[in-house]
């Protein structure tokens, strides 16, 4: 995957399903991947502001034997192609393929994926923004000291009902609103 050096040195760490692409129960085929309306434009806006874009996704169905690794790669390639069609390039896409019972270090909310991404791309995790629709995304963000943004798309509404909003610095409707929050923060810091 092509890497573009962000101008700000800051990155947005994004969940995949329910944040960028439509939530599909047990997504297992590339044809099921569809962008959430406005997601590509939001990512373009973030990229235009010089922010790096990295996807961090838990994919337990691989560890459970329900999704072959090559099919997961096809799904991720489809997402990248859909984004490319909208002039959006990701800096990276990191996957935890383990089932929860494996107790790995890369399954969100543990920090493994974010730590690996930070090492690969040279950014400070606590300067990142974490955007997702699950409590695990918010837990990851809290764990690395990042700004956390819970979107109401995907599982976001259900997660709010179970208290995930308490871990979020911001709760927004979707990725478009999340981008607005991030850009406001970045611009505000630049004025200081």
Strand segments (E) across 114-185: 129-132, 147-151, 170-172
Known active-site residue 28 = no
Q: Which residue has the tokens 């995930």?
A: 164
**Given the residues 15, 91, 137, 174, the one annotated as active site:** 15
Q: Which of 80, 99, 103, 110 is nearest to 16 (CA)?
A: 80
Q: Which of 104, 113, 111, 156 is nearest to 135 (CA)?
A: 156
The three-class DSSP label of residue 132 is strand
Distances 7 to 80, 123, 186 between C-alpha atoms, Å: 22, 11, 12
Known active-site residue 87 = no
Query: Considering all CA atoms of the chain, what is the largest pairwise distance in Å, rounded to the nearest integer?
Result: 51
**Given the residues 17, 91, 133, 174, the one annotated as active site:** 17
Catalogue the active-site residues.
Answer: 15, 17
């Amino acid at each position: 995957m092509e890497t573009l050096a962000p101008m700000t040195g800051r990155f947005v760490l994004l969940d995949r399903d329910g944040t960028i692409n439509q939530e599909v129960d047990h997504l297992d085929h590339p044809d099921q991947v569809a962008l959430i309306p406005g997601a590509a434009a939001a990512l373009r806006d973030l990229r235009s502001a010089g922010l790096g874009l990295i996807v961090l996704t838990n994919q337990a169905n691989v560890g459970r034997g329900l999704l072959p690794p090559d099919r997961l790669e096809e799904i991720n390639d489809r997402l990248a192609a859909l984004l490319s069609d909208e002039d959006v390039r990701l800096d990276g896409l990191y996957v935890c393929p383990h089932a929860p019972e494996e107790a790995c270090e890369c399954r969100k909310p543990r920090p493994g994926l974010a730590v690996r991404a930070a090492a690969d791309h040279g950014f400070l995790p606590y300067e990142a923004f974490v955007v997702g629709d699950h409590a695990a995304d918010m837990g990851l963000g809290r764990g690395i000291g990042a700004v956390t943004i819970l979107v109401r798309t995907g599982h976001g509404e259900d997660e709010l009902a179970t208290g995930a909003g308490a871990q979020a610095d911001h709760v927004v409707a979707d990725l478009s609103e999340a981008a607005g929050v991030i850009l406001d923060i970045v611009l505000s810091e630049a004025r200081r």
